[in-house]
Amino acid sequence: MAKSYIESLLGDREAILLVAHQHWIVLARALLIEIITILIVIAVAFAAAIALPDYSALIAIIGFIVLTIPVATLTIDVLAWSNRKFVITNRRVIQISGIFNKNVTDSSLEKVNDVKMEQTAMGRLFGYGDIEILTASELGVNLFKRIDEPIHFKTAMLNAKENIEHEIAEAEHPVSASIPDLIAQLDVLRKEGILSEEEFQQKKSDLLSKL
């Protein structure tokens, strides 16, 4: 079975925990102008065909050509909305956008310093909000605007972050493990992308200094 685009981004032993979209109201607002334009074009073409019956065929052709423009933009808006995804895995948070050209931004859960959620009164009523992820990276902030069910998204992300921190704590301070075993566990975390090469070498040096 062919992998989906999201699955192709996953590393070894990385699993998808949650996939979210922007709220449907974002799509509805984008489509409103196109739908109104389509109705206006149809109404004008129909009225013109009645007023000028001798040119009804030409009016129908012109109306059809003009109609393709809002229909095309409507289709693009739907595809753009459906392809914009916010993904939580057991290792990171991924933001994906783009229909053909993909733009992928991810934040390692281990590097997440803080998570802010903002909901307006309208957002609370309809169930959408903004999620802001503050990280230790150079980019600093990832902002997910008008995401659907933001409370559920934030909770899932914080739970995944807590699980990673628990894994790292167990690897660094197990109940009973030899230093070679600890280094081997840290190496697994490095290969999974949880620890950077620099962090791995630092922790490895700290353990070897205890021999």
- Two tokens, residue 197: 């090469």
Q: Is residue 18 domain-shared with residue 112, that is, in the same domain?
A: yes
Q: Is residue 75 domain-shared with residue 104, that is, in the same domain?
A: no
Q: Is residue 75 domain-shared with residue 98, that is, in the same domain?
A: no
E strands, the chain, are 16-20, 85-89, 92-97, 103-108, 112-118, 128-135, 141-148
Q: Is residue 159 domain-shared with residue 67, that is, in the same domain?
A: no
Q: Is residue 11 domain-shared with residue 36, that is, in the same domain?
A: no
Rounded CA separation 152/72 (Å)? 34
The upper half-sphere exposure of residue 179, i.e. CA atoms within 13 Å in the direction of its Cβ, equals 9
Mean pLDDT for the stretch of residues 130-145: 76
Q: Is residue 97 domain-shared with residue 17, that is, in the same domain?
A: yes
Measured CA to CA in angstroms, residue 155 lies from 31, 58, 159, 192 at distances of: 31, 58, 6, 23
Higher pLDDT, 209 or 200: 200
Rounded CA separation 75/98 (Å)? 14
112 and 21 in contact (C-beta within 8 Å)?
Answer: no
Express each pLDDT in 78-132 by its tens digit: 999 999 999 999 888 999 999 989 998 888 888 888 888 999 999 999 999 999 8
Q: Is residue 77 domain-shared with residue 88, that is, in the same domain?
A: no
Q: Is residue 34 domain-shared with residue 62, that is, in the same domain?
A: yes
Q: Provide the mean pLDDT of the chain.
A: 85
Q: Is residue 100 domain-shared with residue 142, that is, in the same domain?
A: yes
Quote the pLDDT of residue 71: 92
Q: Is residue 71 domain-shared with residue 128, that is, in the same domain?
A: no
Q: Is residue 18 domain-shared with residue 102, that is, in the same domain?
A: yes
Q: Is residue 36 domain-shared with residue 49, that is, in the same domain?
A: yes
Mean pLDDT for the stretch of residues 149-155: 92
Quote the pLDDT of residue 176: 46
| Phi (first) and psi of residue 23, to 5 degrees | -65, 150
Domain boundary among 53, 81, 109: 81
The bridge status of strand 85-89 relative to strand 16-20 is antiparallel
Which domain, by its residues, includes 107?
Answer: 5-22+84-166
This prediction has a pTM of 0.70
What is the number of domains present in the chain?
3
92 and 107 in contact (C-beta within 8 Å)?
Answer: yes
- Two tokens, residue 143: 């902002």
Domain boundary among 60, 81, 102: 81
Measured CA to CA in angstroms, residue 17 lies from 106, 159, 181 at distances of: 15, 10, 29
Rounded CA separation 157/109 (Å)? 8
Higher pLDDT, 155 or 211: 155
